[in-house]
Structure 1
Amino acid sequence: MKRIATFISYLFHPLIMPVVGVFIFYTITPLFYEFELKKIVLFSLTILTIFVPLLIALVLLKFNIIQSFKLSTAKERMPPLLINTLIIGTIIFKLMPRINTPELYFFFVGILGSNFCCLIMALFKIKASIHMTAIIGVTTFLVGLSFHYALNVTIALSFLVAISGLIASARLYLKAHNMAEIIVGIFIGLMPQLLTIQYWL
């Protein structure tokens, strides 16, 4: 069971969720976007939101700034969260204006807000579940898209809700978080997306 819980934690890691959100957008939007543009955007975001943070984490690990990729303490979380906040900010100010897509722009503004909230929590030694923050942020974005385009996304939404439950169960089973930290993570993922959704819905 521990292996399954660990597998779920890695498979649905928070780093992949921004790319998942963008992929969902391009999959369900009725608006036309050239394939080359979608490919460039997804490739750029994969590099910036997955591979760059992983490389930075390796450097932090080598210099003993973090003890493991699990980021078991609030103190260990601060450097990666700060770096990730800067990366998301760079994406918002440099990449998003070129794409000129309000839905994605404010999706990333919401992600930035969630990152910043997690960073503030870490400063107060509160370990909000970043796994839950990420999956709930994407789920909220999907709900917004369904209203925006008047689409029936019941199957996709059910899948994300089920995944959210699996992630929460896995994190609790591994004792990576307690229930309070799971709930705080859900709230931090939900609220920034709800606050920014009004600007494009």
Structure 2
Amino acid sequence: MPVFGVLFYFFLNENYFIPAQKYLLLIQVSIILILIPIAIFYLLRTLGKADSVMLSDVSQRKIPLAAQAILIGLLIMQSIRVDIVPELFFFFSGGFISTVIAFILALANTKASLHQMGISTLTFFVIGLSLHNHKNAIAIIAVLFLINGLIATSRLYMNAHSGKELGMGFLAGMLPQIALWYFWL
């Protein structure tokens, strides 16, 4: 979702970045929020702390969520700062808050759908971008809501989550994004 957020930012935002800057930003986000978490997962799997990518056991979610929060924090402190790319700063800040919420829920032995959290975060960021830039992105937003429904349906069909867990994931992704709209819309 982080890479999709950056891509939507470049697509829906009037920005003055040269192509090399866009590629650099995409590479930074990909390395920090995709490749490093994959390496951490394989380390945890080797150590016996994770049995599958789905992390179905709540106790297995704590370390990956803490690592993800740290990585997002590093990204927004070092690369995606409010003075350079404010919209992305608030997108990733909302993602950081969502990750912390999921971590706190995991500490309380409560599982929220991370898939649902990710897609709802992206959906409400795109809504914010559309409002911020006064661009009609209704088709993209409609497709994102459809994807929200498809993800929820697939998670229920696979018996990976209950409706309550999907609702918590959706709210954990949505509420931080909406709360941060106040600062950049």
Match of 1:97 in 2: 81
Match of 1:199 in 2: 183
Match of 1:183 in 2: 167
Match of 1:30 in 2: 14
Q: Indicate which of 100, 106, 120 corresponds to 1:116.
A: 100
Q: Which runs of 4+ in 1 moved over 6 A?
A: none
Structure 2 counterpart SS, 1:137: helix
What value does the CA root-mean-square deviation take over the aligned residues?
1.1
Letter in 2 for 1:193: Q
d(CA) in 1 for partners of 2:79, 2:170: 27
Match of 1:150 in 2: 134
Match of 1:52 in 2: 36
Match of 1:160 in 2: 144
For structure 2, the residue ranges without an aligned partner over 5 or more in a row are none
Offset at residue 121 of structure 1 (A): 0.3
Offset at residue 59 of structure 1 (A): 0.4
Structure 2 counterpart SS, 1:194: helix
Normalised by the length of structure 2, the TM-score is 0.97
d(CA) in 2 for partners of 1:33, 1:146: 19
Letter in 2 for 1:196: L
Normalised by the length of structure 1, the TM-score is 0.90
How has the CA–CA distance of structure 1 residues 98 and 109 changed in structure 2, closer, same or farther, with 3 Å as cutoff? closer
Match of 1:14 in 2: none
d(CA) in 2 for partners of 1:26, 1:69: 30
d(CA) in 2 for partners of 1:97, 1:109: 10
Match of 2:72 in 1: 88
Match of 1:61 in 2: 45
Offset at residue 97 of structure 1 (A): 2.6
d(CA) in 1 for partners of 2:156, 2:122: 21
Offset at residue 73 of structure 1 (A): 1.1
Structure 1 counterpart SS, 2:16: coil
Q: Deviations over 1:58-116 (max 9, x none)?
A: 00000001122110111000010000010000001011139711101111110000000
d(CA) in 2 for partners of 1:98, 1:39: 19
Percent of matched pairs sharing the same residue: 34
Offset at residue 200 of structure 1 (A): 1.0
Higher relative contact order (CA 8 A, sep 6+): 1
